[in-house]
Amino acid sequence: QLVNLACATHLFLEYVGTVSLMSGPSMLPTLASSGEVVVEDKLSLRLNPASLARGDLVVVRSPINPTLIVCKRVIGLPGDVVCVDPTGLKAPSTEHVIVPKGHIWLCGDNMLYSRDSRDYGPVPMALIRSKLVARV
């Protein structure tokens, strides 16, 4: 019976959703820099990837360090034309790119302290782990 419970728990956490602890300054003021507990929804993106929208907060495996899981805001979807860096800190604010098919453009809300698509470009949708649905 314990094996069944462990299996069911694993399946739920892997495919449906989970509660996670977030830390880091990149999503200030939306999420606190430490101690922020969030609910991740994995199932809706698996069942309907087209439900992803601009403005959603997503949890992704970092494209530059696969051992890290990061939270960022979706700025651009496949086919969108996005400004590489509206702040002008990392690229001229006049530079624009087209988000390729199968990719998204991500930014942290606290752009001064965020490594995001302005640094590493479009992010493959395969790296998306979940969508944030609530803060606890």
Q: Which residues belong to the active site?
A: 26, 72
Q: What are phi and psi of 58, to 5 degrees?
A: -125, 155
From the centroid of its chain, how far is CA 111?
15
Strand partners, 38: 20, 135
Region for residue 116 given its phi and psi (left: phi exceeds 0; alpha: psi -120 to 50; beta: otherwise) = beta
